[in-house]
Structure 1
Amino acid sequence: MGEPRGAVRVAVVSAAAVVLSLYGLVLRPRMLDWGATSEETLRSRPGDGLVPGADGGSTMAATLPGPPSAVWPWLLQMGYDRAGWYSWDRLDNGGRPSADRLVPEWQSLVVGQRLSSVPSGRAWFTVAVLVPERTLVLRADSRMPSGRPFDPAAGGAPRAFVSSVWGFHLEPAGENTRLVVRAHGRGRPRAFTKPMDLLFWEPAHFVMQTRQFHNLRVRLGRVVTGEPGRP
């Protein structure tokens, strides 16, 4: 009985090793630079130095209909307590549909402003860089495992934390816009945050970001065709 069980264990371990190898060597690199050209991936961006010693990140991109001036207002109104995030609303917006029209009262944004990221308002992104119609960079600093925010400028980081940056960069592409989204961060203790990055945060970011690209494209397409939206 021992020999067959041992053979099964070896087979399971071998299969797991193959799957992890395929993910690490083939799937993960494509996921981290999904849609982006080599030039877009390698180019430096505003906000790159906000988290010194960043040990993980991605650069993803999509072409959206309309010039940067048409895309920018949709980014300005993001936030849980504003238009939402245009992604999978059940996962990141409390189940409330993200707005599919522009709302004038959500078109004001300044550096230092907080954008709630959870229903309770106890976690948020802070606007770190804002260049109209060019760049919007959001930053989050969270204690682990509670997820409660902390201020890295007020005495340094706690022993367990994640600091991350989510940057949106707009570039004209003929009559359209290239939206390049760069995310990077640093977490400690690395023995805990690295496996979480590989197995959860990176795949989760890929799923949510590609959905946001899709939904922004749909909303901008409706503007082009004159279809009505909802708040």
Structure 2
Amino acid sequence: MQLLRLPRPRRIRDDRQTVHHHDFKHIADGVVGAAAIASTVVANPLLRAFYRKWGATEHEAHRLLPGDALIQTPRMQYTRAISIEAPPEQVWPWLIQIGYERAGWYSYDVLEDMAGAGKFVDGDSADRVVPELQTLKVGDEIKLHEQLAFQVHAMNAPRELIMVDARDNETGARFDPSSSERPADFHCASWAFILEEPEGDELPEFAGGTRLLIRWRIDYTPTRSNEIMWKAFVEPINFVMERKMMLGLRKRAEGE
């Protein structure tokens, strides 16, 4: 991540002029996020068991979820969860508009921008449901940045959004994640967002709301460099950014 480069000016939605969105609040938020990333990377061996199931119950962390079958033998997996005081129908529009060149990630926008991944329709992560982004369908791409995107594999509104990225790391070409044949250097990841209504005695205080589960699974070529990259850097950085995203999604859905 290019954390030393100053954020560029962003364009407002109609692209007719540029404005600086990074006021003190944005910069302070970015400093907090950068500090969280640095400390999480450094303390990764101690924190890994915690952040791989952040917010999730033991049952949620270990149960089968939709999308698991895409990655039969994952080298890494996490399950995170958050309770939202809004029904799934109210959360869903905020969820399906996420992404680069879409409504953003509801996370640390300054850090996304510094990493070259901060191009969003409203400049910063949207604080509104964007009508033109509500037509997501199977086969569409949700970009992380210009060079990397997940593909929508399955949808069941307003309950399931399952994405996959199976790619040859050398050529960038996609391959079928269900195929037993793999390129020499590859990664194959699934990213599932499951919206449930809490039932029974496990989370009685959130009855009538939404339990958002996020399950990520990945297989990759088991080289030493890949092991270090995914486990020592990508995973802890992802936790900090995704935790903020989950909190941002909850704030927006509950604020309607």
Structures share fold, TM-score greater than 0.5: yes
Matches within 5 A, 1:175-214: 175-214=208-247
What residue ranges of structure 1 are gaps of 5+ in the alignment? 1-19, 224-231
TM-score, normalized by length of structure 2? Answer: 0.71
Deviation, structure 1 residue 222:
2.2
Deviation, 1:202, is 1.2
Alignment partner, residue 129 of structure 2: 102
Whole-angstrom distance in 2 between the partners of 1:97 and 1:145: 32
- Which residue is 1:217 aligned to? 250
Letter in 2 for 1:102: V
- Secondary structure (helix, strand or coil) at the match of 2:249 reads helix
Conserved? CA contact 2:104–2:118, under 8 Å: no
Counterparts of 1:120-199 in structure 2, within 5 Å, are 120=146, 122-144=147-169, 148-152=172-176, 156-173=181-198, 174-199=207-232
Partner SS for 2:110 = helix
Partners in 2 of 1:125 and 1:27 — Cα distance? Answer: 27
Work out whether 1:48 is the aligned partner of 2:68.
Answer: yes
Instruction: Please identify the structure whose Cα radius of gyration is greater.
Output: 1
Residue equivalent to 1:117: 144
Q: CA deviation at 1:215?
A: 0.7
CA deviation map 1:105-160 (0-9, x unaligned): 11112111112221x3x3211001211111101111233367x3422369943211
Structure 2 residues not aligned, in runs of 5+: 1-40, 199-206
Compute the TM-score of the two structures, normalised by the length of structure 1: 0.78
Return structure 1 stretches of 4+ with deviation > 4 angstroms: 153-156
Distance 1:182 1:155 in 2: 22
Number of residue equivalences: 199
Alignment CA distance shift 1:65-1:149 (3 Å): farther
- Residue type at the aligned position of 1:131: N
Q: 1:169 deviation in Å?
A: 0.5
| Contact in 1 for aligned 2:86/2:210 (Cα 8 Å) | yes
Please give the alpha-carbon distance, in whole angstroms, between the structure 1 residues aligned to 2:154 and 2:59. Answer: 22
Query: Residue 39 of structure 1: which of 59, 65, 75 is its match?
Result: 59
Partner Cα distance (1:23, 1:216) in 2: 25
Q: Distance in 2 between matches of 1:49 and 1:135?
A: 14
